[in-house]
Chains A and B, each alone.
Chain A
Amino acid sequence: MKRYFSFIIIVFLSLSSQQLFGQQHNHDNHDGHDHSTHDHSTHDHGSHNSATKDAKAHADDGHHAPDCAHIESHEWIEGDEYDPAPTAFHHVGDANVYSIGPLQIPLPCMLYAKDTKKFDFFLSNKFGFKSIGHGDGKYAYNKYVLDGGTVKRIKDLSFPDGKVAINGIVHDHDTHKAYVCAEGKMWETHKKSTADFGIFGGDVDSNFFDFSITKNVMSMLIVFLLMAWMFFAIARAYRNRRGEAPRGLQGFIEPIFLFIQDEVCKPFLGDKYMRYQPFIMSLFFFILGLNLWGQVPFLGGSNVTGNLAFTAVLALFAFFVTTFSGNKHYWEHIFWMPGVPAWVKTILTPVELLGVFIKPITLALRLFANITAGHMVIIIFVSLIFMFGKLGGNPTAGYLTSIGSGLLSIFIMAIELLVAFIQAFVFAILTASYIGAAVEDHHHEGDHSHDVEEAH
């Protein structure tokens, strides 16, 4: 009974979180509409975001081509229009710099060029971006450039290697392609290789792999070290203070640990829980740590758990653990459901088989969507200040909005704190339930009589 109740709670919470995402999405679109209806009188206002609008406006007119005569920068503060969507997308994305507010900290770049088969290892300050700025490199290094904090590679192999000064980077807003303006020419660039094969807008012709210690990787490293330090301290406390009451950090983590053990591992995995518990715990605490780390203001706000790469890898782990743990009964229930007429089996088997893959996909998407949504809602609320501030050339509206926006941001952050725990918990409990279903011993007669008993 308790188990069903927990399920209902989880479903309710997931739904309400997605509601949040939906609201955010509408909000986003709404902003977009507002802006696209604005009249853009100036083209050369030096704002990337406004330039996006221009591109849209131009696209409506006809064709718009990137032009080295109008070099844009990411210094959006200078513009007289403010578009929250690119800002939000920029802030939730990964970067080759660690940005704390406007401060850009260089990170190590590890890049593998597909065209020259060369591996490059250097610190991203080789690109010569401003420490207080937006991560736009002033130099190209071995054909790599830094565009808004992200590394891109010049396609043309005739571009000189080494450190080369560039005039700037322009964007084609139809294809989202960046072009480097250097040596009197415009050089096409490629984005890093992604695993979406172009479906989600990744570069299908990418000419390099980016294995850098990016902002997200750095966050993972920090959280991993923090967690390791914390859990080793706690494990030591358990060893040294054997049989004594928990104290300090140990006392803080113990209820959370016991909650996951007693509410997630034991109910779903039964007596096999000790075997899978480290995995479930690792999922929970790694996700929770990164969720929380991403929410601390002025620590980078890295959106690791809201990146599909991260959630997909964890979901893949969940998928592999489930699949390799699956016993005879599990596969039998997927491929040849017992106790069902043969014609139903022909429908049921494909559905069950699809379910095997859909389950981890939903795991990945749920976490990704919830956390990205949370980050974006906060960015949108903060963006409201700038949107109103830029209105009519008078910042008073911005100052007034900052009060309401600040309060709303605090409210959303409080909700996001809850979501950080809920999403980590949901990921853990669903993974546990999938593994539990795969390792469960099915005793049909026993189960049946038990159900009957329960029904009474």
Chain B
Amino acid sequence: MFFYIVRRLVSVVVMLLIISMTTFLVFFASPIDPASLTCAKNCTPAVIEGNRKLLGFDKPIPVQYANFIKGLFVDRDFPDDPQQKITAPQTVFTCEAPCLGYSQRQAKSVTEIVKEGLPVTASIALGAFVLWITSGILLGIIAALKRGTWIDRSLVGVSLIGYSLPSFFIGQVLLIFVAVTWQLWPIPNFVPPTEGVLPWLQSIFLPSLTLALIFAASYVRLTRAYMLETMSEDYIRTARAKGLKESTVVRRHGLRAALTPIVTAAGLDLGGLLGGAIISEQVFSFRGLGWTSIQAIQNTDLPVIVAIVVVASFFIVIANLVVDVLYGVIDPRVRMS
């Protein structure tokens, strides 16, 4: 088990290095001069050259990448010029480790920008996760147990409708009708959990619901399918034959086995979400990572874009790892190999 985790950790680090390298190459080594993207309208050759030096685009790509990785562990200076740091220290920006880069557009370290957005995104993602897991699994079990009845058919039908609803549509409808027109729920405005759990929950409810609806729909279908599969296993018949109560059979024998693949899928989906619940954040103007990335794209703020892509991939890769390890823990049939 220990060696398995160590080996997986090594492969995760390798994967992250390859991802960050690819991202770096795609954004900074493209034929378009990254320095020319740093200023939109007030671009003069002098400004471009200044930004090139400031952001380190004047160095070869491998050096830039090495600096980026180094910056994760030690402080970095922008521009990286020891001479200038002595003569004019106020013009040099020191980005503290872990440094993900420097956004000259916002005159801020990218780490700081990511740190501002992450709690918002994490709140929405976690809220959505709780909503979709509870409702999806519960309704999925009901549909499976009532297989073939009108309850099953309507649940499957509703879930397919929910699955097909574009999330921007759900979000906008929730915002305009539920919050603005009918005033059933206050217009969401992010409150950090440190300022009270209830206001926090209230503020993230609608954005989380927007995300949760789509996932809930697919989890109803997923749970239903796995539940149907396990409930037809021989050991379920054995459990019934030895006189266990039906509720015990479902909970202890059926659900336990059916949950394993669902946990896997849920972990991966949550990992993907942490990279930015883009649409939900945009609809409700929550300043999370998704909103930040759209902002960065509109300003072609490359250091921020690269950092968010790397952070998002980081969560996906970590979620993969956690799920793989958990899978072995939950399901004794899976051998570590």
Q: Do A and B bind each other?
A: no
Q: B residues near A, CB below 8 A?
A: none
Q: A residues near B, CB below 8 A?
A: none
